Amino acid sequence: MDVLGILSGVEVRVPMYMVISYVAVISLCLLLSRIQLGLALSFVFVFYIGYLYNRNLLIEAMKGSPLGIVVYAVLGLVIIILAIIAFLSSPK
């Protein structure tokens, strides 16, 4: 079975405090005209919720597939690097 088919069947739970903090941070980024930073933080939030917070569900859904977990982790690291670049760049 392909990775997309496996991941589409996973239920992910997100605590309300994380959703509220996410909305507050993204709203602050938009109010300060830091669109790139807001987008990068959105990706970081999705990576955190998807992998770090729900790691057991993800590993169980992939049935221990090392390739799927490595791909997910590498893409997450790329997103974190892009977020750091967004922090350091000045708004236009």
Pull the structure tokens for residue 89. Answer: 């760049």
What size, in residues, is the chain? 92
Domain count, the chain: 1
Indicate whether this model's pTM tops 0.85.
no
- How confident is the model over 36-88, as pLDDT tens digits? 788 878 878 887 777 777 777 777 777 767 787 788 778 878 877 877 787 77
**pLDDT at 92 (0 to 100):** 60
31 pLDDT band (50/70/90 cuts)?
Answer: very high
Residue position matching structure tokens 């799927």:
68
Domain encompassing residue 51 = 3-88
Three-class HEC string of the chain: CCHHHHHCCCCCCCCHHHHHHHHHHHHHHHHCCCHHHHHHHHHHHHHHHHHHHCHHHHHHHCCCCHHHHHHHHHHHHHHHHHHHHHHHCCCC
Range picked from 12-16, 21-25, 81-85 for highest mean pLDDT: 21-25
